[in-house]
A and B are shown apart, each in its own frame.
Chain A
Amino acid sequence: MKVLVCVKQTFDTEAKIELKDGKISDAGINLIINPYDEVAVEGGIQLKEKGIAKEVVVVSAGSDKAMDAIRTALAMGADRGILVKQDTAADEYARACALAEVIKGESPDIVLAGHVAADDGSSQVPTRIAEILGFPHVNVITAVEIAGGKATCTSEADGGTQVTEVSLPAVISSQVSWNEPRYPSMKGIMAAKKKPVSTVDAAAVANKVAIVSVALPPSKQAGIKIEDEPAVVGAKLADWMLNTVKVEVK
């Protein structure tokens, strides 16, 4: 069985966002694998360790910098990488088209991806890939069992937890609580340098959504700050809640 994992390179979640010439500046920003995708990589490697998957292929669409994300996934234990060179301004549609084109050529049994990226927060690309490929898709999974050509997934759902079964091949997108991604070992990092990574150019597809402008949200001003005996500050906080916020007490 072949598992293909889509990873996106994103800013570190601790990064402070600044603008330069009306665009988000990446100066001095530490780049990481999108945390949701990192969980998908770990999930793929675990399927291999369990003997369910034979090969784990990592695919990333983006600039040359995304090679670092691929190398990190290889250091964790993925077998092979594909960098799909694409303008980082590609929208969700163009991104999905580019990835799906490459995925088609690989004919995987399972496509894994994070259910959302920590940067644009769109949560569209895995679903769009599934539609292009004509695969079933299960979103936001926290556990999966693969057996008999089927995937049985536990996922976070609106107002509860859902268990869904789909036939393979399928796209499965991960919630961060699925697993705890491993840190690459020194041995893994050395081995990753020798693992094959191919580079292809993305299919030329026009965006369907245009970014008009980017801005920083209005910064929240600090208000009252008090320090005193618990009986005093507790009473003042309760008073503020009742009279300024006007909360209802149940």
Chain B
Amino acid sequence: MAGTWVIVEQKGGNIRKVTYEMLSEAKKWGDEVSAVVFGQGVEALAPEFAKFGADKVYVVEGDIFANYNTGAYVAQLAAMINEYQPNAIIFAHTFNGRDFASRLAQKLEAGLATDVIKANVSAGKGVFTRSIYAGKALAEVEVATVPVLATIRAGVMELAESAGAGAVVKPAIAASAADVYQVVKDFIPTVSARPELTEADVVVSGGRGCKGPEGIKLVEQLADMLGAALGGSRASIDSGWLGHELQVGQTGKVVNPNLYIACGISGAIQHLAGMSSSKFIACINTDTEAPIFNVSDFGVVGDLFKVIPVVCSELKK
């Protein structure tokens, strides 16, 4: 039994920041840390993982690994676990990461802690904190099987650079085309200059108080001045002003940026569940009684149509 494996999240050679967050976290556990990267032509990425302390980099290359697909990735990783016997494996809690981890966990008849926000792993024992009820409560869970499996929420583990050897290991390829059961017919990337909600440092969200696309435009303007992600409460999604993928809250995404700005959002418990763990929270709302003020570090009682333009022009100075 040896080491912690960090499953790299990358697409087309672009490494997601959560990969480095996971490597930084795994270093704290005192065990050997390896990055495991699947893809095509990804060996060149190895030095990037070494910067965050990866002692080894397992490189899994081949046509069938070019893009994530459950069957081939699970078959390959299961074979590698069998050969190298890692103590713990962590994945990013992305759509792909949690699909990968869940299917692998069942194949191994193992436990899995998903969407972890705090970890304590040593000697094949893993205790994790995960938010339940979309952050309304926290559960501490122990995964009783080895390797310990978990998916880690983006943006919660602190980045810490440290030099690792980054020695490339090329494991035997155990998966074949016969393991691929999903045929990807099309992939339409989201065309947006804005960062993704769950990875952004700043999130600016609009709610019912935006009253329509005009109000949303103001929210977008503020978001773009801050290089922020755009989000919305259920009211603005249900009204069709924003797509569902931008919903923040219990039936949408849980975000934890450095700064969250709620514009025209009253702060229903459903919404608060998705953003209360943000480091700083500001709000603009006409209703002085709105619950959003109870969680805001800086609350402005006012009309977003009048306040946002002032904020934008002040920021420009």
Q: Decide if A and B are genuine partners.
A: yes
Instruction: For residue B91, give the distance in angstroms from its CB to the closest CB of chain A.
Output: 12
**How many interface residues does B have (CB within 8 Å)?**
92
Task: Determine the chain B residues whose CB is within 8 A of the CB of A35 once the complex forms.
Answer: 251
| Contact call A222/B293, Cβ cutoff below 8 A | yes
Q: Is B239 in the interface zone, CB < 8 Å from A?
A: no
The one of A13, A92, A156, A209 in contact with B245, judged by C-beta atoms closer than 8 angstroms, is A156
| Interface band, chain A | 35 or more
Q: List 22 A-B contacts (CB under 8 A).
A: A13-B134, A13-B269, A121-B131, A121-B134, A123-B102, A123-B115, A124-B98, A130-B103, A131-B106, A155-B95, A156-B95, A158-B94, A158-B95, A161-B190, A163-B188, A164-B182, A175-B244, A176-B251, A226-B298, A228-B302, A230-B303, A247-B259
Q: Which residues of the partner chain B approach A217 to less than 8 Å between Cβ atoms?
A: 131, 135-138, 276-277
Is there an interface contact between B137 and A247, defined as CB atoms closer than 8 Å? Answer: no
Q: Is B214 an interface residue (CB 8 A)?
A: no
A96 to chain B, nearest CB (A): 7
Q: Which of B9, B142, B314 contacts A238 (CB 8 A)?
A: B314
User: Taking each of A140, A159, A215, A238, which has the highest tally of chain B beta carbons within 10 Å of its own beta carbon?
Assistant: A159
What are the interface flags for A179-207 relative to B under an 8 Å C-beta threshold, 1 for contact and 0 otherwise? 00000000000000000000000000001
* B284 touches which of A208, A237, A239 (Cβ 8 Å): A237
Q: Is the CB of B311 within 8 A of A209?
A: no
Could you say which residues of chain A place their CB within 8 Å of the CB of B280? 244-245
Cβ A220 vs Cβ B70 within 8 A: no
Interface: A147 (CB within 8 A): no
B interface secondary structure, majority: mixed
Q: Decide if B133 is an interface residue (CB 8 Å cutoff).
A: yes
Stretch of B45-53, B57-65, B168-176, B224-232 lying at the A interface: B224-232
Interface contact A118-B251, CB-CB below 8 Å: yes
Additional A-B contacts beyond A120-B132, A223-B298, A225-B300 (16; CB < 8 A): A16-B136, A19-B137, A123-B114, A131-B102, A139-B99, A211-B141, A216-B138, A217-B136, A220-B281, A224-B298, A226-B298, A234-B300, A234-B314, A245-B280, A247-B259, A250-B227
Given contacts A139-B95, A231-B310, A233-B307, contact A92 B188 (CB under 8 A): no
Which B residues are closer than 8 A to A by beta carbons? 9, 11, 70-71, 94-96, 98-99, 102-103, 105-107, 109-115, 127, 130-145, 181-190, 196, 202, 224-227, 243-245, 250-251, 258-259, 268-270, 276-277, 280-282, 284, 288, 293-303, 306-311, 313-316
CB distance from A211 to the nearest CB of B (A): 5
Contact of A121 among B111, B130, B244, B301 (CB under 8 A): B130
Partner of B259, one of A14, A91, A241: A241
**Given A225-B301, A226-B299, CB of A235 within 8 Å of CB of B185:** no
In the bound complex, CA of A203 to CA of B275 (Å): 39
Q: With the chains together, A157 CA to B182 CA distance in Å?
A: 14
- For B304, the closest partner residue in chain A by CB is A230
Give the docked Cα–Cα distance between A131 and B104 (Å).
8
Inter-chain CA distance A104–B214, complex, in Å, is 52
Q: With both chains docked as a complex, state the minimum distance between the C-beta of A111 and any C-beta of chain B, in angstroms.
A: 14
CB distance from A155 to the nearest CB of B (A): 8
Per-residue contact bits, chain A 8-37, to B (CB 8 Å; 1 contact, 0 not): 000101111101000010000000000110
Residue of B nearest to A233 (CB): B300
Q: Which residues of chain B have C-beta atoms less than 8 A from A132's C-beta?
A: 106
Cβ of A10 to closest chain B Cβ, rounded Å: 9
Distance (whole angstroms) from the CB of A105 to the closest CB of chain B: 19
Bound state CA distance, A208 and B268, in angstroms?
35
User: Are A164 and B183 touching (Cβ within 8 A)?
Assistant: yes
| Residue from A214, A227, A230 with most neighbouring chain B CB atoms (10 Å) | A230
Closest Cβ neighbor of A119 among chain B residues: B133
Residue of B nearest to A122 (CB): B114
A187 vs B52: C-alpha distance when bound (angstroms): 62
Asked, given contacts A152-B185, A237-B282, A240-B298, whether A158 binds B138 with beta carbons under 8 Å apart, the answer is no
